[in-house]
C-alpha cells in the first residue's frame, strides 16, 4: 500500500543550499537501520528534513511509501527538453554507530578542524546533501537544465533497499520513464595510487547473497558422546572457507579500471603500471597482488574474486553439557557480476564435507558490460578542480541501490566527487568510528555535480 503526499512551498531562500549545513542536520537525525525502538520514524524525519529544504526553494516533491515510517521522496525539476531525464538518488539510512568507539557524538553533526563529523558523513548523508543542493541549484539557475532532473531520496538501502529504491522500482517505475543514466553512490572520491590521483566512478557492482551451511547428526550428553558432532563439522567447514580463495576472474568493469590506472601511471611509474597490468592476467595476478603489498591487495583483490565470508556460527542452546544435533554456518557472499554461483556451490560443498546442506539462492547475474558514455564529462569536470587527476571506471566490491535500477535499463554512476586530503581514506572510514568528511569537499563536489547537471546531454 502506498502513501502519497505532494507539496509546493516557497520562501525567500537564497539561491544556493549549503550542503554542509544540510548534511549536519541529516546527521543529527539518527536514522539507523534497522530502526531503533525509541526512534522508529527516524528515516521519515530525515526525509522530512530534505522535503523542507526542497519546499523552501519551490521544488515540488512526493512522498511514496510501503511503510509510512520508512518513506521515500521523489522530486522533479523540469528541463528544457534538450536531454533525457537524469536521476539523482541517495539514501537517508545509516548503519549503527556504537558511541563507545567514537571520539565524539556520532549523531552530533559537529564541524571541527575543517571536517564534518558523524555517522553518514560519507555514507551517505554528506553525498545526499550534495545531490539535494545540486538539484536546488539546477532549479534556481537562470536557465533550466538540459533535461528533467529527478531526485529520489530513499530509505532502507543499508538493509537491501526493499522499502526504498526497490519499492520505487517495483511500484513507481513510471516516475523514472526515459531515464538512461543516474548519479548516486559509490565513488567519485579521490584515491592516491603510486603518487597519482584517481577518481574511481562506480559503473558496476558485485552481487550480494547469504547462504547457510546446515549440519545435522547425533546429539546427546557430553559424557557419552565424542567425535565429529555437527558443531565440530560446522567449525571445521568455517575454518576451511576462511582459508579458501575463489578463482580470479577479470570482468569488464574491473579490467577497465585497472587498465586505465596502468595507462595513467605508465609514463612515470613504470613499475607500478606493470604491477597493475599483471592483475589483468589471471595466471599472474596472485603474484602481482603479493608483490604489490597489502595496500594494493586490499584495494584490488576484492575486484577480482567472488568472496565468501563467515558471518555466523550457531549450534545448540544454552546447556553446556549437551552435544547439539544441528549446527549452521552463515556466509555472506559477494559475487562478481557475471558469476552465476555454480562453481562456487560445488566448491562450498567440497569444503563443507559430506552431509552438509546448502540453504539459500543466488541473485540473477548482472549486466555483461557497462555504459561509460558519461565518464568523459566527469573527467572534464574533475580536471577543473584537480588538474592531472584521472577518472576511472570502478567495479564496487559491495552493493548499492543501483541493483534495483539496472533492470529498468538505467546505468548508475557512483559519482559523489570529493577531493580528500592525503591520509583520509574513504574506504577505511565508511561504516567505521569517527566517520568524517572535509567541509570544503562537500561544497566543491556540489559545484561539480551542478556542472554535470548543466552539461548532461544523455
* Nearest-5° Cα angle at 303, 297 to 307: 90
Alpha-carbon span 294 to 301, nearest angstrom = 10
User: Which pLDDT band, with edges at 50, 70 and 90, does 11 fall under?
Assistant: very low
Q: What's domain 205-359's architecture?
A: 2-Layer Sandwich (3.30)
Q: What is the pLDDT of residues 409-453, one digit of tens each?
A: 999 999 999 999 987 777 788 889 999 999 999 999 999 999 999
Q: Which of 153-157, 218-222, 330-334 has the lowest mean pLDDT?
A: 218-222
Residues in Cβ contact with 153 at an 8 Å cutoff, skipping those fewer than 6 apart: 47, 50, 72, 73, 89, 90, 91, 92, 128, 132
Cell numbers given for 348? 562450498
How is the chain split into domains, by residue range?
3-186+400-455, 205-359
110 pLDDT more than 70: yes
For residue 15, the model assigns a pLDDT of: 65
372 pLDDT more than 90: yes
What average pLDDT score do residues 17-30 get? Answer: 97
- Known catalytic residue: 123? no
For residue 4, the model assigns a pLDDT of: 43
For residue 409, the model assigns a pLDDT of: 96
For residue 226, the model assigns a pLDDT of: 66
What average pLDDT score do residues 279-298 get? Answer: 89
For residue 165, the model assigns a pLDDT of: 98
User: Which pLDDT band, with edges at 50, 70 and 90, does 33 fall under?
Assistant: very high
Alpha-carbon span 263 to 255, nearest angstrom = 12
8 pLDDT more than 70: no
Q: Is 205-359 the same fold as 3-186+400-455?
A: no
More confident residue, 126 or 355: 126
Report field, pTM of the whole predicted structure over 0.85: yes
166 pLDDT more than 80: yes
What average pLDDT score do residues 2-14 get? Answer: 41
What average pLDDT score do residues 170-185 get? Answer: 98
For residue 164, the model assigns a pLDDT of: 98
3 state SS of 263: helix
For residue 9, the model assigns a pLDDT of: 34
Alpha-carbon span 420 to 292, nearest angstrom = 23
Q: What is the pLDDT of residues 402-419, one digit of tens each?
A: 999 999 999 999 999 999
Please identify which of the residues 17, 43, 93, 435 carries the catalytic annotation: 93
For residue 3, the model assigns a pLDDT of: 46
Q: Which of 26-30, 353-357, 390-394, 448-452 has the lowest mean pLDDT?
A: 353-357
- Known catalytic residue: 100? no
What average pLDDT score do residues 156-170 get? Answer: 97
13 pLDDT more than 80: no
DSSP state of 398: S
Q: List the beta strands (DSSP E) in 129-242.
A: 149-154, 181-184, 191-193, 196-205, 207-216, 220-221
* Nearest-5° Cα angle at 201, 273 to 380: 85
DSSP state of 88: E
Write out the CATH class of domain 3-186+400-455: alpha beta
What average pLDDT score do residues 207-221 get? Answer: 93
For residue 88, the model assigns a pLDDT of: 98
Q: Which of 156-160, 266-270, 343-347, 371-375 has the lowest mean pLDDT?
A: 266-270
Q: Cite the DSSP H helix spans in 306-438.
A: 342-352, 375-385, 402-405, 426-429
Percent of the chain with pLDDT over 70: 96
More confident residue, 449 or 7: 449
Please identify which of the residues 158, 251, 372, 401 carries the catalytic annotation: 158
Amino acid at each position: 500500500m502506498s502513501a502519497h503526499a505532494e507539496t509546493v512551498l516557497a520562501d525567500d531562500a537564497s539561491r544556493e543550499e549549503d550542503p554542509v549545513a544540510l548534511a549536519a542536520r541529516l546527521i543529527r537525525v539518527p536514522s539507523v537501520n534497522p530502526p531503533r525502538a525509541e526512534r522508529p520514524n527516524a528515516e521519515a524525519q530525515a526525509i522530512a528534513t530534505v522535503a523542507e529544504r526542497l519546499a523552501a526553494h519551490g521544488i515540488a516533491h512526493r512522498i511514496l511509501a510501503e511503510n509510512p515510517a520508512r518513506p521515500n521522496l521523489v522530486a522533479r525539476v523540469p528541463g528544457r527538453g534538450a536531454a533525457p531525464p537524469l536521476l539523482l538518488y541517495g539514501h537517508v539510512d545509516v548503519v549503527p554507530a556504537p558511541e563507545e568507539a567514537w571520539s565524539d557524538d556520532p549523531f552530533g553533526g559537529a564541524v571541527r578542524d575543517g571536517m564534518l563529523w558523524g555517522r553518514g558523513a560519507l555514507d551517505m548523508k554528506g553525498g545526499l546533501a550534495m545531490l539535494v543542493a545540486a538539484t536546488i541549484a539546477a532549479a534556481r539557475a537562470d536557465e533550466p537544465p538540459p533535461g528533467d532532473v529527478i531526485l529520489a531520496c530513499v530509505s532502507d538501502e543499508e538493509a537491501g533497499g526493499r522499502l526504498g529504491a526497490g519499492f520505487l522500482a517495483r511500484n513507481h517505475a513510471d516516475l523514472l520513464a526515459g531515464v538512461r543514466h543516474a548519479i548516486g553512490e559509490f565513488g567519485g572520491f579521490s584515491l592516491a595510487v603510486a603518487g597519482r590521483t584517481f577518481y574511481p566512478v562506480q559503473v558496476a557492482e558485485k552481487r550480494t547473497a547469504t547462504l547457510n551451511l546446515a549440519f545435522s547428526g547425533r546429539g546427546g550428553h557430553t559424557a557419552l558422546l565424542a567425535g565429529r558432532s555437527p558443531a565440530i563439522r560446522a567449525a571445521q567447514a568455517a575454518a576451511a572457507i576462511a582459508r579458501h580463495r575463489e578463482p580470479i576472474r577479470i570482468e569488464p568493469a574491473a579490467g577497465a579500471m585497472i587498465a586505465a590506472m596502468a595507462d595513467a601511471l605508465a609514463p612515470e611509474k613504470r613499475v607500478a603500471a606493470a604491477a597493475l597490468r599483471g592483475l589483468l592476467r589471471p595466471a599472474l595476478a596472485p603474484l602481482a597482488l603479493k608483490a604489490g603489498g597489502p595496500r594494493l591487495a586490499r584495494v584490488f583483490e576484492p575486484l577480482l574474486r567472488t568472496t565468501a565470508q563467515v558471518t555466523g556460527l550457531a549450534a545448540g542452546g544454552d546447556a553446556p553439557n549437551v552435544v547439539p544435533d544441528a549446527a549452521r554456518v552463515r556466509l555472506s557472499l559477494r559475487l562478481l557480476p557475471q558469476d552465476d554461483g555454480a562453481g562456487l556451490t560445488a566448491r562450498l560443498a567440497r569444503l563443507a564435507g559430506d552431509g552438509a546442506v546448502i540453504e539459500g539462492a543466488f541473485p540473477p547475474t548482472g549486466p555483461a558490460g557497462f555504459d561509460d558514455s558519461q565518464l568523459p564529462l566527469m573527467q572534464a569536470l574533475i580536471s577543473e578542480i584537480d588538474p592531472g587527476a584521472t577518472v576511472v571506471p570502478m567495479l564496487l566490491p559491495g552493493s548499492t541501490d543501483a541493483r534495483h535500477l539496472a533492470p529498468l535499463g538505467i546505468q548508475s554512476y557512483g559519482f559523489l566527487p570529493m577531493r580528500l586530503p592525503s591520509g583520509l581514506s574513504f574506504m577505511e572510514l565508511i561504516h567505521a568510528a569517527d566517520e568524517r568528511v572535509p567541509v570544503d569537499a562537500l561544497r566543491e563536489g556540489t559545484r561539480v555535480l551542478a556542472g554535470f547537471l548543466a552539461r548532461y546531454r544523455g
